[in-house]
Amino acid sequence: MTDDRTGRRPGDLGAYLDAALALAELPLEAVLRPRVLMHLDMALAMGRLVEDFPLPDEAEPAPVYRP
């Protein structure tokens, strides 16, 4: 079963967080876990907005600006 809003199975984000913390060998206080999961979910939602934005075929990458 997936969450209609995110397209993920419940618990996937928590499993990702656990794996990333283990890989980076970082501790996370249990009291902070819900807040970190909330921010990860928000970052994924923002990424979906960018990813789903339709671009015309003639869209070009922005030039590189140097100060």
How many angstroms separate the CA atoms of 36 and 28, rounded?
A: 9
- DSSP label of 8: S
Q: Does the pLDDT value for residue 38 go beyond 50?
A: yes
Chain segment 48-60, per-residue pLDDT in tens: 999 999 999 888 8
Q: Does the pLDDT value for residue 9 go beyond 90?
A: no
Domain layout of the chain by residue ranges = 1-44
| pLDDT, position 1 | 41
pTM, entire model: 0.67
Alpha carbon distances (Å) from 31 to 28, 34, 37, 58: 8, 7, 11, 48
Q: What is the mean pLDDT of residues 7-14?
A: 71
